[in-house]
Amino acid sequence: MRAVVIKSFGGPEVLEVVETPLPEPGPGQVRVKVAAAALNPVDAAFRDGYIAPLTDGQLGLGWDFAGTVDAAGEGAGFAPGTAVVGLSYGPAATKSHADHVVVDASAVAPAPTTVDTVHAATLALNALTAAQALDLLALSPGDSLLITGAAGALGGFAVQLAHRAGITVTALAGPDDEQLVRSLGADTFVPRGATVAPAAADAVLDAAVMGEPALAYVRDGGAHVGVIPGASPAPVRSVRVETVEVSPDGARLAELVKLLDAGVLTTRVAGTYPLGEVAKAHTRLAEGGVRGRLVLIP
């Protein structure tokens, strides 16, 4: 099968599409024939060498995906032919930017029925991260939450999930993103770079990775959740500071799929690229201003 790997760290030029043996699922695992796989900033971070070392001389890329189970290990619970979405978590020699991916069955869920595979492939990583970040914040209906990077994939899901939970949402995003974030459920919009600071919120979800400056948006004794392990600011004013590190969770992903099918969540695709043009996709991601996810098609 073909798989996107890196054998050294650097820019998009280090990406390779190589032929590699078809992986076999073990007990409790499934092999998925990938129909589409999203490109996320974490893939660029892997490529740049910020997160994980090379595994056996190479490192695969790709986290979330949509496709069809074509082989299942003992006790996997998914029959071949089942359409699924899932998360290929952590470093490995090959991941979901490939023709096939093997993952634990506990990391996949039945695919949504209301969107195509390209849109379905953008759900797992960002929606799970948003849901798990909100779990850490432990807010109640009526509490206030400011979300930085609210127009991004992670931030957008967080706006929708928080709005559904009855939380009052302030969205901080680019000046041209007000209509978008309000359509997702934001109650208040703050343009990035505004000279007048918003009212302090009960909590901040820092999807834009602002770091220490985002603490200014939290009330004394509030909460701050970052999205990059090891990059959270030091706590001040009794603010509780935590970091979400996404965990594969097929049961939770199945709940998010139902919310997508019910129209509560919205997937956004900025463009598609053939797997062989992965370097072009990485270059486009690095240019910035992408609203939605770029998706690779094997």
- The tens digit of pLDDT for each residue in 197-251 reads 788 999 999 999 999 999 999 999 999 999 998 888 999 999 999 999 999 999 9
Written out in words, the top-level CATH class of the domain with range 2-123+267-297 is alpha beta
pLDDT value of residue 44: 96
Which tokens go with 187?
A: 């109650």
pLDDT value of residue 229: 84
| Sequence ranges of the chain with CATH classification 3.40.50.720 | 126-243
Written out in words, the top-level CATH class of the domain with range 126-243 is alpha beta
Q: Residue 219: how many CB atoms within 10 A of its CB?
A: 16
pLDDT value of residue 198: 85
Cβ atoms of 84 and 110 within 8 Å: the answer is yes
pLDDT value of residue 191: 94
What's the whole-model pTM score? 0.96
Cβ atoms of 148 and 208 within 8 Å: the answer is yes
| Helix axes 124-137 and 250-261, enclosed angle (nearest 10) | 100
What string of DSSP letters covers 154-182?
Answer: HHHHHHHHHHHTT-EEEEEE-GGGHHHHH
pLDDT value of residue 197: 72
pLDDT value of residue 93: 93
Q: What is the Cα Rg of the chain in Å?
A: 19
Q: Which residues of the chain have pLDDT under 70?
A: 195-196
Cβ atoms of 247 and 89 within 8 Å: the answer is yes
Beta bridge mates, 297: 274
Cβ atoms of 46 and 6 within 8 Å: the answer is yes
Q: Which long-range contacts (C-beta less than 8 Å, at least 24 apart) are formed by 174-177?
A: 177/150, 177/151, 177/291
pLDDT value of residue 36: 98
pLDDT value of residue 3: 98
| Sequence ranges of the chain with CATH classification 3.90.180.10 | 2-123+267-297
Reported as a single tens digit per residue, the pLDDT across 140-171 is 999 999 999 999 999 999 999 999 999 999 99
pLDDT value of residue 263: 97
